[in-house]
Amino acid sequence: MAHPPEHIGAAVSGGSDSLALLLGLKTAFCNRGVKISVATVNHGLRSEAAAEADAVARFAAELGFEHSVLTWDHVRRIGNLQGQARDARFNLLSHWAQQRKIPIVALGHTADDQAETVLMRMRREAGVNGLAGIPERRTVGGVEFRRPLLSLRRHELREVLRAEGIGWIDDPSNENDQFERVRTRKALAVLESIGVSPTVFASVAENLTQARKALEWYSFLAAREVLDVQFGAVVICRRAFRVLPVEIAHRLLAASIQWLTGGEYVPRRKAMVDAREVVKLGGGHTVAGCRILIKDEQAWLFRELNALRNCAVPLGQPWDARWLVYGGVADNYQVRALADEGLRDCTNWRDLGCPREVLHATPAIWDEDQLIAAPVAGFENGWNAALTRSEEALYTSFLTH
């Protein structure tokens, strides 16, 4: 890093990868006036976690670094617990970094982690984005997470630690075949015996990263020609959409859904294939809490009303995490979906040129069962509504920053 910031964070679990990361950060930056702070996330999933965090704190203190323990106060959930823990880890680290004005947090992922990720995604028949693997950079909550060790093997890092007389913590779950990543790691050992090493997977991931960046650029250009934002919905020019290459069309739809819902992850590819066919050929479709409505040569993509039935917030709070309603003051008013019962009171909505189904899913101000205003549907009554994610944000979302 030619011009490092004044303050860098490091996520350290106590495993060999993250300890080697911390040692590398000290070597690279401590003589350049860069402050380094360390955080360990305790997910509360293992009884040993607290003691392991204490061990990291002692090691950080030996190096002269401030250390924090971030605890995940979770309710036991069913489903993908590892995925939930990963999301919580990023959110905790992002909040920690924001509090300390740390712009960059370093993570200890290696070429071995990259290979495991790519192989697991191959099993799921992932596309270019998935097979590009773990990105070198990722931004969460305005904090940039970087992975400087992605080109290095785990055994290389352990050799460095052994040479320095530094021990590390082995997580026993890394030997538990219940987890897909553990099974994948063992499969990689077999593949390496025939020359398909983690380094090979990492190189393939880098090649696909370059392909992904090219696709992102052409998707960005296509989006400006094909997509438009009206009444909070994404309007797709079907004539232009039909002639797009399949991958570009897929990306336009996926990014539009993410822009509408605020979701981080794209729906499964089968769901996206079905949605793409509806836009091209006609019909109706719902996907990921959104609805596709065909009107002549336009396809309207907007929030599904059923996904918003229980979405009600007091004034001053974002509605559906994407609309802000402002203008009047009344403590007892609520913001809810306009729906059909509200649209009946909007006498001029047909003059707007917007399908009624789209307006149903826009914000309205209610006093119990009485409609006070529906600013998107032309019944302002002194109120306004604005999107928290702009049209420009939709276009720039195609580019990796």
Known binding positions for ATP:
13-18
Which SS3 state, helix, strand or coil, does residue 247 take? helix
Binding residues: 13-18
CA dihedral 179, 182, 183, 186 (to 10 degrees): -170
Sheet holding 334-337, edge to edge: 313-314, 334-337, 363-367, 370-373
Closest CA to 40 of 122, 132, 107, 110: 107
Number of continuous H segments (helices) and E segments (strands) in the chain: 14, 17
Cα–Cα dist 175/181, whole Å? 10
Cα–Cα dist 350/73, whole Å? 49
Residue 280 · residue 242 · CB < 8 Å: yes
Q: What share of the chain is helix, strand, coil (3-state, %, to 5)?
A: 45, 20, 35
Cα–Cα dist 9/4, whole Å? 12
Kindly give the pairing relationship between strand 363-367 and strand 334-337.
antiparallel
Widest CA span of the chain, in angstroms? 78
Residue 302 · residue 358 · CB < 8 Å: yes
Residue 9 · residue 37 · CB < 8 Å: yes
Closest CA to 238 of 185, 275, 271, 270: 275
Handedness of CA 103, 108, 112, 113 (dihedral sign): negative
Kindly calculate the radius of gyration of the chain based on its CA atoms and give it in whole angstroms. 25
Mind giving me the DSSP string for 59-114? HHHHHT-EEEEEE------SS-HHHHHHHHHHHHHHHHHHHTT--EEE----HHHH
